[in-house]
Amino acid sequence: MATFKEFRNNVKPNWCPGCGDFSIQAAIQRAAANVGLEPENLAVISGIGCSGRISGYINAYGFHGIHGRVLPIAQGVKLANRELTVIASGGDGDGFAIGMGHTVHAIRRNLNVTYIVMDNQIYGLTKGQTSPRSAEGFKTKSTPEGSIETTLSPLEIALSAGATFVAQSFSSDLKQLTKLIEEGINHEGFSLINVFSPCVTFNKINTYDWFKENIVNLEQFPEYDPSNRVQAMNKIMETNGLLTGLIYQNKTRKSYEDLVTGFKQEGLAKQNIKISSEEFDKLVAEFK
């Protein structure tokens, strides 16, 4: 069984010192080792932005996609080889702006993919513009007088779209984050894990100290039931989305793969997909 170190490679991350993404990378590597994966069993698919670089920093199969399209690629990888554990990763701009349509449909489709969003409430790679997760009044280069747009709530949207696994964590809480990623990997269906990952360079409002003062950890509520969808939605609204832990999980709904008639367990890479000339001619005849 692979160890945490075996999911490391020799590529040094070029994130800013103090960026929360370092901890998310470590949590993914620890979780992969803890659930018994080998590097060749894991595919990390990423989008564009600071967070998009993560696919090159982990010793596993990696694919650096284009802006907002991480989930179509990740789902394609999973459908082509369902034996792989697929983790998709990107930022709040990547997943909740240009990629929001893909996010909603991936959630309702419920393919067995774990989606980790590195949420820093700003566009970091392009040097500090407002994202869908920025607060009203938030001043950036694109909103010098303060944002007049309502902050998007991905957790409420996920529950509304029929999510079967919704969690949120804070990059400073490595223990909780690692555990949630493990649970997301083991969940049969689509797993959304939003992670508060402070941008130390361009976001001087949502800092580590700010999150520590405002976050509500669900572990404080032993009576909380993550299988109760109504309770989950109420708790999200009560805390204005500033809660961490396993928010909701539905273990009864089948994954997309298990609902597709005749979908083989064996990946396409291992299947014999050659067809005879007679079969080919028969297929062509159908279009005449």
**CATH number of residue 89's parent domain:** 3.40.50.970
pLDDT of residue 153: 96
**Domain count of the fold of the chain:** 1
pLDDT of residue 46: 96
**CA R_g for the chain:** 20
pLDDT of residue 118: 96
In this prediction, residue 288 has a pLDDT band, given cuts at 50, 70 and 90, of confident
pLDDT in tens, 247-258: 999 999 999 999
pLDDT of residue 262: 87
Is the per-residue pLDDT at 265 higher than 90? no
pLDDT in tens, 185-236: 999 999 999 999 999 999 999 999 999 999 999 999 999 999 999 999 999 9
Q: Are 127 and 141 in contact (CB under 8 A)?
A: yes
pLDDT of residue 111: 97
Is the per-residue pLDDT at 267 higher than 90? no
How far is 130 from 180, CA to CA, in rounded Å? 28
The model scores a pTM over 0.85: yes
pLDDT in tens, 117-173: 999 999 988 889 999 999 999 999 899 999 999 999 999 999 999 999 999 999 999
Q: At what angle do helices 100-109 and 70-80 cross, to 10 degrees?
A: 30
> Given strand 216-217, what is the order of strands in its sheet?
61-64, 42-46, 85-91, 114-119, 191-196, 165-170, 243-249, 216-217
Average confidence (pLDDT) over 261-285? 88
Q: How many residues appear in the chain?
A: 288
pLDDT of residue 244: 98
* Residue bearing tokens 């240009």: 98
pLDDT in tens, 27-62: 999 999 999 999 999 999 999 889 999 999 999 999
- Structural domain including 80 reads 4-285
pLDDT of residue 240: 96
